[in-house]
């Protein structure tokens, strides 16, 4: 059994030897990058794929502001054309009398017309266009806030993925300790049997525990590798080279900076939650769009001017131009405008309902996270005490087995109790850390977790 343990450790020893040799030769060993918790959160909030896509949506919203503003800016167009045509003089509805027996033919032409022109247009007054610009700007505010909400979600998702990885690493450490303890108990059982103070069944039981511990270690290592891949996907990294975990699942991971007291945290959340800011901005955009539709009933004033050359030949063309002032007043469009206004009013009311519901949801999120955190911290203290007692129990059981006053059943039972205590301690630390992440997310502070 001891040789099997040595064989299982041989690859790790060889890897360490290669790393040492590479360092001695001045060559860096190809080890995967190790990220701290704060680095993972910062990377997810600033450059993960979902955050990048949210930024592109904000860029598109800013572009729509320019599109709406174009209706208020000057327009410039240039054109040139050549026409060769004939026409029927009778189609004009004008009778040309004959003079001295001579009259115009019915078909006139063909003749050429050359025309080149530069045209300028400018809107002088358009309340509806102004309203559409304001609505587009409100959409940018909403899109920016939605991008913040996406960044919050990405940061919280990366924090959760990192904590799952740190938990998996803690489980691997615990299983390694279980395997080492099981190997030590096998050695002790063999020695006791050789000394004639225990039976062969004690050795068999100890070896069974060692095999079980080795199997649990394999599962734990697989879960750790999966957690590294999951973190790489959350961060948008290459899953073929997933990062390692620089931080351990300590009792204080992660650290959050929040005001004291439930009311202060709720007040912070109601001002800092980007999803609520986005919903309020979306409602403002809907109201401005409604105002823009109503402004379509008002007069629109614009000016148009053009200048160019016109004539039957290029050489004989002369300069011509015009200036026009146009006033338009919409009167009736089949009540399409009224129905569009009704649609916008419905969207405004829907946004108000969502904002009110989100306000209540934020308060519930904070209260629930505070309850979970208080419970998890209490469980963490109990789990730490349980782990200490289980360790003492195992130590006492080993001493009794060494003294020959008890079989290794007591040791195996104490070993199983220690394994459960270790798992409970890991679960309690993980629950407390997850509750802190949930509280930061509820308060809109997930992006500054560290």
Q: Which residues pair with 87 in a beta bridge?
A: 108
| Complete domains list, the chain, with CATH | 33-75+127-297+349-448 (1.20.1600.10)
φ/ψ of 60, rounded to 5, equals -65, -40
Q: Residue written as tokens 């690493």?
A: 169
DSSP letter for each residue of 68-126: HHGGGS-EEEEEEEEEEEEEEGGGGT-PPPPBTTB---SEEEEEEEEEEEEEEEEEEE-
**Contacts (Cβ under 8 Å, ≥6 apart) of 9:** none
pLDDT at res. 373: 93
Judge whether 163 and 249 are in contact, CB under 8 Å.
Answer: yes
Between strands 318-328 and 75-88, the pairing is unpaired
Q: What is the CA radius of gyration of the chain?
A: 40
Of 343, 353, 362, 337, nearest to 283 (Cα)? 353
Tens-of-pLDDT digits for all 450 residues of the chain?
A: 334 433 443 333 333 333 333 333 333 333 347 889 999 999 999 888 899 999 999 999 999 999 999 999 999 999 999 999 887 877 777 676 777 667 777 787 788 899 999 999 999 999 999 999 999 999 999 899 999 999 999 999 999 999 999 999 999 999 998 888 888 888 888 887 887 777 788 788 888 888 988 999 999 999 999 999 999 999 888 888 898 898 998 888 898 888 989 999 999 999 999 999 999 988 998 998 899 999 988 999 999 999 999 988 888 889 999 999 999 998 888 898 899 899 989 999 999 999 999 999 999 999 999 999 999 999 999 999 999 998 888 888 888 877 777 667 888 888 888 889 999 999 999 999 999 999 999 999 988 888
pLDDT at res. 110: 87
pLDDT at res. 190: 85
pLDDT at res. 410: 83
* Sign of the dihedral defined by the CA atoms of residues 125, 128, 131, 135, in that order: negative
* This prediction's pTM: 0.78
**Contacts (Cβ under 8 Å, ≥6 apart) of 387:** 418, 421, 422, 424, 425
pLDDT at res. 203: 83
pLDDT at res. 376: 92
């Amino acid at each position: 059994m001891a040789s099997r343990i040595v064989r299982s450790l041989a690859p790790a020893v060889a890897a360490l030897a290669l790393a040492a040799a590479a360092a001695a030769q001045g060559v860096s060993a190809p080890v995967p990058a190790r990220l701290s918790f704060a680095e993972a959160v910062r990377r997810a909030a600033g450059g993960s794929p979902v955050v990048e896509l949210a930024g592109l949506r904000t860029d598109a919203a800013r572009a729509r502001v320019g599109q709406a503003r174009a209706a208020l800016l000057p327009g410039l167009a240039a054109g040139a054309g050549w026409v060769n045509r004939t026409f029927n003089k009778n189609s004009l509805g004008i009778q040309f009398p004959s003079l001295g027996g001579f009259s115009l033919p019915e078909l006139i032409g063909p003749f050429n017309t050359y025309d080149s022109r530069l045209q300028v247009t400018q809107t002088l007054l358009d309340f509806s266009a102004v309203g559409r610009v304001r609505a587009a700007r409100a959409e940018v505010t909403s899109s920016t806030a939605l991008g913040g909400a996406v960044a919050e979600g990405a940061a919280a998702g990366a924090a959760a993925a990192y904590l799952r990885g740190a938990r998996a690493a803690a489980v691997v450490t615990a299983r390694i300790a279980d395997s080492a303890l099981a190997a030590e108990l096998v050695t002790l059982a063999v020695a006791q049997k050789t000394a004639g103070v225990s039976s062969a069944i004690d050795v068999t039981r100890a070896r069974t525990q060692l095999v079980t511990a080795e199997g649990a270690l394999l599962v734990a290592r697989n879960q750790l590798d999966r957690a590294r891949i999951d973190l790489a996907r959350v961060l948008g990294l290459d899953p073929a080279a997933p990062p390692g975990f620089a931080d351990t699942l300590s009792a204080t991971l992660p650290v959050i900076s929040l005001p004291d007291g439930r009311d202060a945290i709720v007040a912070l959340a109601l001002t800092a939650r980007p999803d609520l800011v986005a919903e309020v901005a979306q409602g403002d955009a809907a109201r401005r769009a409604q105002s823009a539709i109503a402004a379509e009933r008002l007069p629109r004033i614009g000016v148009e001017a053009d200048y160019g050359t016109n004539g039957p030949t290029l050489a004989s063309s002369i300069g011509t131009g015009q200036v026009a002032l146009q006033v338009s007043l919409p009167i009736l469009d089949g009540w399409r405008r009224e129905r569009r206004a009704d649609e916008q009013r419905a969207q405004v009311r829907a946004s108000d309902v969502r904002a009110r519901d989100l306000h209540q949801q934020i308060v519930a999120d904070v209260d629930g996270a505070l309850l979970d955190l208080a419970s998890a911290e209490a469980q963490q203290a109990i789990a730490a005490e349980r782990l200490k007692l289980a360790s003492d129990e195992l130590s006492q059981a080993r001493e009794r087995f060494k003294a020959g006053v008890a079989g290794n059943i007591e040791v195996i039972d104490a070993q199983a109790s220690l394994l459960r205590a270790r798992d409970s301690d890991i679960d309690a630390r993980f629950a407390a850390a997850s509750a802190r992440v949930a509280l930061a997310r509820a308060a809109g502070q997930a992006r500054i977790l560290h």
